[in-house]
């Protein structure tokens, strides 16, 4: 028997996804308007934490540089798959948080790839020489951490909504 799709299922998933997309897009808009031109850096804690405006044509942390063409389709496929999944399956709260964060990151960076052919990265931890990233990347990593936590510490039954 096929499960019916409903936006009423997994309300936390939808709330997290929508809030994450909005925060990501607002932060990128702010960076593109406040920190110009590309390559400009604002030290918040000199040598440790900066906002640095860069355009990334690759994936998270600049992996697959120049791969925006196929990455936009991957973002779309992941997004559609998560939307269908969350509309059909009842998830525990931690799973909703995890999948919602992953959807927010995939949609946030996907929007940029489809519209501009790149994403805006700006979070720059220089103390550990970490690649520059954005809030969509953070959201995806929070989502993965939440899903790992949920898989290592499962409860006996799924919550139904």
For 73-118, how does the pLDDT look when each residue is reduced to its tens digit (9 = 90+)? Answer: 999 999 999 999 999 999 999 999 999 999 999 999 999 999 999 9
pLDDT of residue 98: 98
Kindly name the residue from 24, 112, 124, 137 that is annotated as catalytic: 137
Q: How confident is the model at residue 70 (pLDDT cuts 50, 70, 90)?
A: confident
Q: Is the pLDDT of residue 125 over 60?
A: yes
Kindly name the residue from 24, 112, 121, 124 that is annotated as catalytic: 121
Q: pTM of the predicted model, to two decimals?
A: 0.89
B/e letters for 110-131, b = 16+ CB within 10 Å, e = fewer, are: bbbbeeeebbbbbbbebeeeeb
Kindly report the average pLDDT of the chain as a whole number.
91
What are the sequence ranges of the domains in the chain?
11-152
CB 142 within 8 A of CB 94: no
Cβ neighbours of 6 (radius 10 Å): 12
Q: Is 137 tagged catalytic?
A: yes
Q: How confident is the model at residue 155 (pLDDT cuts 50, 70, 90)?
A: confident
- pLDDT tens track for 37-61: 999 999 999 999 999 999 998 766 5
């Amino acid at each position: 028997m096929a499960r019916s799709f409903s936006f009423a299922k997994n309300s936390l998933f939808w709330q997290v996804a929508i809030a994450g997309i909005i925060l990501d897009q607002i932060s990128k808009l702010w960076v593109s308007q406040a920190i110009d031109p590309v390559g400009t850096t604002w030290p918040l804690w000199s040598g440790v934490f900066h906002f640095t405006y860069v355009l990334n044509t690759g994936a998270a942390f600049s992996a697959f540089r120049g791969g925006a063409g196929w990455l936009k389709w991957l973002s779309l496929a992941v997004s559609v798959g998560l939307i269908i999944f969350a509309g059909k399956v009842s998830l525990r709260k931690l799973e909703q948080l995890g999948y919602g964060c992953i959807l927010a990151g995939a949609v946030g960076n996907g929007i940029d790839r489809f519209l501009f052919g790149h994403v805006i990265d700006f979070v720059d931890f220089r103390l550990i020489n970490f690649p520059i990233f954005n809030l969509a990347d953070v959201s995806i990593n929070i989502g993965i951490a939440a899903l790992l936590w949920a898989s290592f510490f499962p409860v006996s039954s799924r919550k139904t909504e």
